[in-house]
Chain A
């Protein structure tokens, strides 16, 4: 193989590797998650934790949820490093405490439930983080007729 052909081959391989690396980076940084915030008593953790009167969740300087006891909110996020600010009001009429929280989200979960009282109580990750399993509604599971042709039905000349 002459020199110019060899150089061309090297450039092509290098370009291919760069594209693969970009694709891999996009897979990691672009992974989307829906994070659900629960302000309720965590289940099956074995210990009692106190549920605050109100928690305000701020993600990327935007208030995404204002949760009273027993409520759930949600936010869409990208990547595995999730940062949020929590404004926690323990009792009605009380002052709100501001907390900065950073979490590592599991890559394989689309929907993630974060139980805020369990997180604030400093419990183990298994206690405050669980997977949200999406259950399609009956409407969504109805059979859908696929329309693949603009002339659908127009070529039917029988009556």
Chain B
């Protein structure tokens, strides 16, 4: 905290500040009422927070932004597809989908962790490619094995050809059941109390987890793997556990996300989720090696405010809503790119600073000796 100038703070919070400015400009232009805007933001906090919180643990363990959270999302979708076919509805359906998704997420997280241990230093690109690889396996399972191998009975879920899952699976039987479990309406703003309680519990778990032995180990591994190994920490195991936890939380988060949406786009729901969650976290002021719970919530508010107002503002300014759509997609990818560049630049800067310091120390030593 010491010796930090305003410039340092501006640099550190440049992304959230930029988004605050964009939102402040676009919100009045969009013409959306404050009530509508607040309603939408509250809904999106409930929908996305759990998913984004799942990204915190790998960052803590120094594994960067977990692009393979998509794996957990796929596990969550498989749980929901099976539960829909078994006709288990409402909150019990959600709980059962979570129970089904956990072993799948655990296995996928274990696999991902093992692969990332083989690609230390290149975790983000590796996890990004793993998500494409596992997407192929997901498609094989959902398109060809569901029906003949994994029993699927209902024709509303199964493709007319007799195997594989339809493009869209309806979750009407559990749509917003968690959100509406404890109904609360404050001045026309619908608050999903039960969902917020679940999110709050996860926040508490993360705070508690940081203080545990394993949490401390993860932080140590995140700071320096070699020093941690010398201190007796099983670095590989710690990293694998962080991936498993993240994937399991992502699976549960995806179920909460989809119960709010009310349907599953079987082959595309998960594909963009990682990208948007990571973008939201970065917009909240997080970086590749540092993120907090505050970043999650600030990120959701700013990123999704932009998501809501940009198309409308685009329509008002240019007469074409697609401009706003392009803008928000472009901004999502741009934010991730900027964060990655900043991370690499800082890493190099710190490395050269350390090198210069070392040279200075050596010079001083030689002069003294």
Per the bound structure, the CA–CA distance linking A101 and B279 in Å amounts to 54
B95 touching A141 by the CB < 8 A rule? no
Interface string of B64-100 (1 = CB under 8 A from A): 0000000000000000000000111111110110011
B167 touching A146 by the CB < 8 A rule? yes
Nearest-Cβ distance from residue A134 to partner chain B, whole angstroms: 7
Closest to B266 in A: A146
Query: Of B96, B139, B167, B271, which is within 8 A of A26 by CB?
Result: B96
Interface-forming stretch among A27-35, A53-61, A118-126? A27-35
Does B7 sit within 8 A of A, measured CB to CB?
no
Interface range, B side: 20 to 34
> Are A30 and B267 also in contact (CB < 8 A) when A136-B155, A140-B156, A144-B167 are?
no
Nearest-Cβ distance from residue B74 to partner chain A, whole angstroms: 13
Within 8 A of B (CB), among A105-137: 110, 134, 136
Considering only CB atoms and an 8 Å cut-off, how many residues of chain A contact the other chain?
Answer: 26
Nearest-Cβ distance from residue A52 to partner chain B, whole angstroms: 31
Does B173 sit within 8 A of A, measured CB to CB?
yes
Does A142 sit within 8 A of B, measured CB to CB?
yes
A144 touching B159 by the CB < 8 A rule? yes
> Are A140 and B139 also in contact (CB < 8 A) when A26-B96, A27-B96, A30-B89 are?
no
Per the bound structure, the CA–CA distance linking A31 and B88 in Å amounts to 4
B87 touching A110 by the CB < 8 A rule? yes
Does B190 sit within 8 A of A, measured CB to CB?
no
A32 touching B143 by the CB < 8 A rule? no
> Are A19 and B87 also in contact (CB < 8 A) when A32-B173, A76-B173, A144-B159 are?
no
Closest to B88 in A: A30
Per the bound structure, the CA–CA distance linking A120 and B47 in Å amounts to 46
B268 touching A26 by the CB < 8 A rule? no
Contacts of A144 in B (CB 8 A): 159-160, 166-167
Query: Of A30, A142, A146, which is within 8 A of B92 by CB?
Result: A30
Contacts of A25 in B (CB 8 A): 92
Query: Of B87, B93, B139, B173, which is within 8 A of A148 by CB?
Result: B139
Contacts of B251 in A (CB 8 A): none
Nearest-Cβ distance from residue B181 to partner chain A, whole angstroms: 13
In the assembled complex, 23 residue pairs joining A and B whose CB atoms fall closer than 8 Å, in A order, are A25-B92, A26-B95, A27-B86, A30-B93, A30-B96, A31-B89, A32-B93, A33-B87, A76-B89, A76-B173, A110-B87, A134-B156, A136-B160, A140-B156, A140-B160, A141-B155, A143-B161, A144-B160, A146-B143, A146-B159, A147-B268, A148-B143, A150-B268
Within 8 A of B (CB), among A42-98: 76, 78
Most chain A beta-carbon neighbours within 10 Å: one of B88, B91, B93, B155 = B88
Interface string of A1-42 (1 = CB under 8 A from B): 000000000000000000100110111011111000000000
B99 touching A22 by the CB < 8 A rule? yes
Contacts of A110 in B (CB 8 A): 87, 154
Does B164 sit within 8 A of A, measured CB to CB?
yes
List 5 tightest A-B contacts by C-beta distance, closest first. Answer: A30-B92, A32-B89, A30-B88, A26-B92, A26-B96
Nearest-Cβ distance from residue A72 to partner chain B, whole angstroms: 20
Per the bound structure, the CA–CA distance linking A108 and B34 in Å amounts to 48
Interface string of B197-232 (1 = CB under 8 A from A): 000000000000000000000000000000000000
Per the bound structure, the CA–CA distance linking A22 and B267 in Å amounts to 30
Nearest-Cβ distance from residue A59 to partner chain B, whole angstroms: 15
A78 touching B160 by the CB < 8 A rule? no
Contacts of B167 in A (CB 8 A): 144, 146-147
Query: Of A19, A33, A134, which is within 8 A of B99 by CB?
Result: A19
Interface string of A147-158 (1 = CB under 8 A from B): 111100000000
Nearest-Cβ distance from residue A152 to partner chain B, whole angstroms: 10
Per the bound structure, the CA–CA distance linking A19 and B154 in Å amounts to 27
A23 touching B96 by the CB < 8 A rule? yes
Most chain B beta-carbon neighbours within 10 Å: one of A32, A134, A140 = A32
B159 touching A26 by the CB < 8 A rule? no
